[in-house]
Amino acid sequence: MLRLALPFAAAAVLSACGSSPEPSEPTTAPTEHAAESPKAEEDDGEDMAAKLAEAELDLRSAEIAAEIDAMDRELKASRAEREVEAKRQAFERATRELEHFRSHEQKLRLDRSNLGLDRSRHRRELAADELGELEAMYAEEDLATKTKELVLKRGRKNLEFSQRDLEFDEREAAALTGFELPKQLEEKMLAVDKAKFEIHAAQVEQRKTELSNRVSEMKSKAAIKNARRKLEKLRAKAKQAK
């Protein structure tokens, strides 16, 4: 019985083998992908290294730019402070000059002008007296007409010049008191007002510089922070890729 079953079983196996489809040839895609994987990983590694180098350069550049900006801010602040101090000193000088003009120079020039007027008046009086004496003397004495006229002519000219000097000094005194001194006083008062305004303007510029420096400092810190954050993210990504 067993002998009869074996031939039938063998025939069934052969029949099954004959009816099954022929196996297909294996594709080469997995093999090719496996061959390309190391190359792709190498490219990704090089790209990440380049990005890290660029991020490190950006961070260092931001730090250097911040150092330069800090020096610029310090210089601007120093200049603004010196400008305010210079304007304050200019105001003090203008104030001293005004006070000196009011209390000393103005009075000194008026006194000098009045002294010149008194001298001119005195010289005129002397010239008039001398001429009067000469005329009286020559009226009594019988001298040569030529000599008499020469002496009297000299006396009259002396009186004339003395009178003209007096008139000139009087005009100078009038110009001094009526125009020159008031004009100089006004100029010095305006100089004080201008110097006072310049102090205010310099203080405003100083405040503007302070605010501008604060904005610049915040931008520098933000640039460093952003560059550092970018670098840290890339380092974390590179670490995960390993």
Q: Which tens digit of pLDDT belongs to each residue from 159-192?
A: 899 999 999 999 999 999 999 999 999 999 999 9
- 172 near 57, Cβ under 8 Å? no
Please tell me the distance from the alpha carbon of residue 134 to that of residue 130, in angstroms, as a whole number: 6
Q: The whole model's pTM is what?
A: 0.65
Q: With respect to residue 235, please indicate whether it lies within any of the assigned structural domains.
A: yes
Q: With respect to residue 16, please indicate whether it lies within any of the assigned structural domains.
A: no
Of the CA atoms within 13 Å of residue 207, those in its CB half-sphere come to 6
Q: With respect to residue 106, please indicate whether it lies within any of the assigned structural domains.
A: yes
Number of domains in the chain: 1
Q: With respect to residue 45, please indicate whether it lies within any of the assigned structural domains.
A: no
For 28, the token pair is 């080469």
pLDDT at site 41: 61
Please tell me the distance from the alpha carbon of residue 102 to that of residue 55, in angstroms, as a whole number: 70
Query: Residue written as tokens 């605010």?
Result: 211
pLDDT band at 139 (very low <50, low <70, confident <90, very high): confident
Which of 133 and 212 is assigned the larger pLDDT?
A: 212
Q: With respect to residue 13, please indicate whether it lies within any of the assigned structural domains.
A: no
In the predicted structure, residue 90 carries a pLDDT above the cut 50? yes
pLDDT at site 46: 79
Query: Residue written as tokens 């610029």?
Result: 72
Please tell me the distance from the alpha carbon of residue 110 to that of residue 181, in angstroms, as a whole number: 9
Q: With respect to residue 40, please indicate whether it lies within any of the assigned structural domains.
A: no
Q: With respect to residue 93, please indicate whether it lies within any of the assigned structural domains.
A: yes
Domain with 69, as residue range(s), is 54-241
List the CATH number of the domain containing 167.
1.10.287
Please tell me the distance from the alpha carbon of residue 232 to that of residue 55, in angstroms, as a whole number: 9
Q: With respect to residue 44, please indicate whether it lies within any of the assigned structural domains.
A: no
